[in-house]
Amino acid sequence: MQRIDRRKYDELREVNITRNYLKHPQGSALIEIGETKVICTAMIDDKVPTFLKGTNTGWITAEYSMLPGSTMNRKVRDSSRGKIEGRSQEIQRFIGRALRNSVKLDKIGERTIWIDCDVIQADGGTRTASITGAYVALVEAMNKLYVQGELPYIPITHYVSAISVGIFGGVPILDLCYIEDYKARVDMNIAMNDRGEFIEIQGTGEKGTFTYGELNEMLNLAKKGNEELIRIQKRSLGDIGKLIGQIPQSEGE
């Protein structure tokens, strides 16, 4: 099978993560996966939702949007529509769940970390790119609290990334571009940590069903892809990344 961009079935598109992409947020990153580009930011608010007041526990929440010029046809802003698009709601919940999974929320105090993922160019895999890039922005923000003495350590237990897999042309493939995603028989988005554990699996037979064997092949591809993405995250974070998972023994997990 010949893929659209001549990649191997198990090959990621080119991935670049630019840290500190913006001036004002405590954490920011531009992630580029092929032609997909997403600006991810993490900003800290010294208050929490009502249900967490008085608990000394923090929260992480995410917002996701696609800029009008990110697609071939102008994307209408949610603000113009008067409501958040259902797809955007689903994606931002996915991002929030994936990132919260990596943080000891009871160790960050009553703070909310706002994650914003803005797609500036879309060519498939925007939700998975958002998770992978937002994780880097989140670590940056946590590190700022640590450096300022607001936290005794960075309470992040593990790395998190996400990637798409699917069945295109009858073959399981990794990291679908838009055309592959549009034509795929099966489409899945899988978030994992650096322990090889699954955080979330989203999958559907878009144009048909898939077998147990095909599912296993896709899970193996996702594992390979996420391992590569986490290596890229580690290179991007440099010395800061070495602080991840350094939870004092007395704190446990």
| Cβ 3 vs Cβ 12: under 8 Å | no
Say if residue 241 carries a ligand binding annotation.
Answer: no
Sign (positive or negative) of CA dihedral 99, 103, 105, 107? negative
Residue 252 has pLDDT above 70, yes or no: no
Q: Is residue 7 part of a domain?
A: no
- Is 253 among the domain residues? no
Confidence (pTM): 0.94
CA 152 to chain centre: 26
Q: Closest by alpha carbon to 97, among 197, 26, 199?
A: 199
> Mean of the per-residue pLDDT values for the chain?
94
Query: Per the domain annotation, does 231 fall within a domain?
Result: yes
Asked whether residue 141 is assigned to any structural domain, the reply reads yes
Task: Identify the band that residue 215 occupies on the pLDDT scale cut at 50, 70 and 90.
Answer: very high
pLDDT tens across 123-173, in order?
999 999 999 999 999 999 999 999 999 999 999 999 999 999 999 999 999
Higher-confidence residue of 225 and 76: namely: 225
Domain, as residue range, for 26 = 15-72+86-237
Would 6 be classed as within a structural domain? no
Residue 164: predicted pLDDT: 98
Q: For residue 209, give the CATH number of its domain.
A: 3.30.230.70
The reply, when asked if residue 87 is annotated as ligand binding, is: yes
Q: How many domains does the chain have?
A: 1
Q: Of the ranges 81-90, 98-107, 160-169, which one carries the lowest mean pLDDT score?
A: 81-90
Is residue 78 assigned to a domain? no
Rg (CA), the chain: 18
pLDDT value at 250 more than 90: no
Q: Is the pLDDT of residue 195 over 80?
A: yes
pLDDT value of residue 78? 81
Has residue 248 been placed in a domain? Answer: no
Task: For 92-102, write each residue's pLDDT tens digit.
Answer: 999 999 999 99
Position 212 pLDDT exceeds 80: yes
Is 117's pLDDT higher than 80?
yes
Whether residue 132 lies inside any domain: the answer is yes
Cα-to-chain-centroid distance, residue 209: 27
